[in-house]
Amino acid sequence: MSQLEQLKQYTTIVADTGDFQSIKAFAPQDATTNPSLILKAVQKDEYRPIMERVAREHAGKSTDEIIDRLLIAFGQEILKVIPGRVSTETDARLSFDTEGTIAKGRELIRLYEEAGIARDRVLIKIASTWEGIRAAQVLEAEGIHCNLTLLFSLPQAVACAEAGVQLISPFVGRIYDWYKKSTGTDYTGADDPGVQSVKRIYTYYRKFGYKTEVMGASFRNTSQIVELAGCDLLTISPELLQKLAETDASLERKLSPEAAQQVQIDRLKLDEKTFRLMLNDDAMATEKLAEGIRAFCADAVKLEKLIEELH
């Protein structure tokens, strides 16, 4: 069996792309998108017609409304080729706006349901700021399930679990990037700080019985993926899915609920002040969260410009 086939025995595989043609090739359970992936997709010849069609069908509507419709159009196409859920991201410019994020989450679900897609097949993707986590708590109470992204630290993960969030996406590769740049060390295997961060979060969740799913994200190499075999879900780019499919080296389970129960770990007590202080105390998490929001905001603006050119 390939490493991809072996990995599927322990972990739900999620395609990290807006390219639904490549999704078909790897038969993942779920798929995740973000502003950067959608922007990348609509600039390809095979996907640009979707953007043009959506802009044409909703001419006269605001750019913001057209982008929402574009996200749903991509989500619909992705759901045709996967059996599970698609993650659709809220505007990153709402990352510090709880009410705005709630409104956007409700609107995206309304549009999916209007298109005949059940809400249990959609995860609303929100940045793991304090405001984003509070918005997710409200949405979850309404049966709108959320994927909390740009997650780099245990306090963010714990706050998400206590808010009853469906799923979190800790960013392995971006943590690795920061430590590699900071220390000059090219980490591999179990020594990778990104891998260690996800293991810590997974262990905490399983130790204390949280239901929130852990989905490792943002991988730089297959070594990071192999080290997290057994994590609830892993969202992987088509390029790395291809490498796993082409490799037949043995792969063993590294994470399990049983192993997590054996670990001694202190429970965090979090309120808003403690959350903000702990996040601020973690230079990597603070910098990568801010950088990620900036990048997604910039890509949202680029996507708006592409839409406005079609008006």
d(CA 270, CA 160): 11
Contact present, 27 and 247 (Cβ < 8 Å): no
Q: Can you give the pTM of this predicted structure?
A: 0.96
- What three-state secondary structure class fits 270? coil
For the chain, the average pLDDT equals: 97
CA 139 to chain centre: 17
Residues 6+ apart with CB under 8 A from 287: 178
- Residues carrying an active site annotation: 125
pLDDT in tens, the chain (311 residues): 999 999 999 999 999 999 998 999 999 999 999 989 999 999 999 999 999 999 999 999 999 999 999 999 999 999 999 999 999 999 999 999 999 999 999 999 999 999 999 999 999 999 999 999 999 999 999 999 999 999 999 999 999 999 999 999 999 999 999 999 999 999 999 999 999 999 999 999 999 999 999 999 999 999 999 999 999 999 999 999 999 999 999 999 999 999 999 999 999 999 999 999 999 999 999 999 999 999 999 999 999 999 999 87
Residue 311, pLDDT score? 72
CA atoms of 125 and 144, how far apart (whole Å): 11
Query: What is the pLDDT, as a whole number, of residue 35?
Result: 84
Assigned architecture for domain 3-310: Alpha-Beta Barrel (3.20)
